[in-house]
A and B are shown apart, each in its own frame.
Chain A
Amino acid sequence: GQQVMQIPQYQHVQEGEDFTTYCNSSTTLSNIQWYKQRPGGHPVFLIQLVKSGEVKKQKRLTFQFGEAKKNSSLHITATQTTDVGTYFCAAPDRGSTLGRLYFGRGTQLTVWP
């Protein structure tokens, strides 16, 4: 099945520093999704990227989809303590219309005040 590799597994930053998590696949992806899970919470859908080279922004969050549609990144500018959580990327099963996603293992972000 589809595999998405996500790095780093953990990231500790001081408040105000930037943060980036990366998601990579060996195969071309039809789209990629990003989720955030707060400590003690459940994953919440953030965004979906579909087009090659697509860049989308949500306030301090910037999402990119690579030109070859094999990688993606989530960048947070000037982190805040509210950004704490685990960020997951997810991609659909190739060749299937059933809607199954494959999730990366996530990047756990800790922000020190």
Chain B
Amino acid sequence: DVKVTQSSRYLVKRTGEKVFLECVQDMDHENMFWYRQDPGLGLRLIYFSYDVKMKEKGDIPEGYSVSREKKERFSLILESASTNQTSMYLCASHERRGFGGYTFGSGTRLTVV
């Protein structure tokens, strides 16, 4: 089975800090995604990447950037963390030409204080 691993389950950061969330997948998938999930708002796409060094903005990219230097790793960067970025962050990967759904990581619960 595909495994998507997020580096931290829980994180607490201070306002203004630069925060890195890491995601690694082990099945050579082309596509990787970062979502945030907030109660009542569902899954909102922040950024996605369809190849190494390639990225596309999702619906809420403001305040975030991403990096994909290697196919298996997709990093989400909060340039200057703010309290309204307190959320659950979910990474997912997908084989673009495959028949099947996304595989999600277990999520990182980020609290910005």
- Please list the residues of chain A having a beta carbon within 8 angstroms of any beta carbon in chain B: 1, 9, 33, 35, 41-46, 48, 88, 90, 97-101, 103-106
A104 near B90 (CB under 8 angstroms)? Answer: no
On whether the beta carbons of A43 and B43 are closer than 8 Å, the reply is: yes
Interface pair B96/A42, CB less than 8 Å apart: no
Chain B residues near A103 (CB-CB < 8 A): 42-43
Candidate in B30, B42, B43, B58 with the most chain A CB atoms within 10 angstroms: B43
The reply to whether B104 and A99 form a contact with Cβ atoms under 8 Å apart is no
List of 6 A-B pairs having minimum Cβ-Cβ separation, nearest first: A45-B101, A105-B42, A99-B96, A42-B104, A103-B43, A99-B31
A60 to chain B, nearest CB (A): 20
Q: List 28 A-B contacts (CB under 8 A).
A: A35-B101, A41-B106, A42-B90, A42-B105, A43-B90, A43-B104, A44-B104, A45-B100, A45-B101, A45-B103, A46-B101, A48-B100, A90-B101, A90-B102, A98-B48, A98-B50, A98-B56, A98-B96, A99-B50, A99-B96, A100-B45, A101-B102, A103-B42, A103-B43, A104-B42, A105-B40, A105-B42, A106-B43
Chain A residues with Cβ below 8 Å from B58 are 100
> How far is A41 from B9 in the complex, measured between Cα atoms in Å?
11
Q: Compute how far the CA of A103 lies from the CA of B58 in the bound complex, rounded to whole angstroms.
A: 12
User: What's the least CB distance linking A46 to chain B, in Å?
Assistant: 8
Q: Which of A1, A43, A97 contacts B102 (CB 8 A)?
A: A43
Residues on the B chain within 8 Å of A90, using CB:
101-102
Are A98 and B31 touching (Cβ within 8 A)? yes
Q: Nearest chain-A residue to B6 (Cβ)?
A: A42
Name which residue of chain A comes closest to B43, CB basis: A103
Say yes or no for B10: interface residue by CB 8 A criterion: no
Please, how many angstroms separate the alpha-carbon atoms of A43 and B106 in the complex? 9
Bound form: Cα–Cα A106–B43 in Å: 9
Task: Find chain B residues with CB under 8 A from A9 CB.
Answer: 40
Query: What is the distance, in angstroms, from A22's C-beta to the closest C-beta of chain B?
Result: 15
Determine which of B42, B48, B94 lies in contact with A88 in the assembled complex, contact meaning CB atoms within 8 Å: B42
Contact of B106 among A42, A48, A99, A105 (CB under 8 A): A42
User: What does the 1/0 interface line of B7-47 toward A look like (CB < 8 Å)?
Assistant: 00000000000000000000000110100000011110100
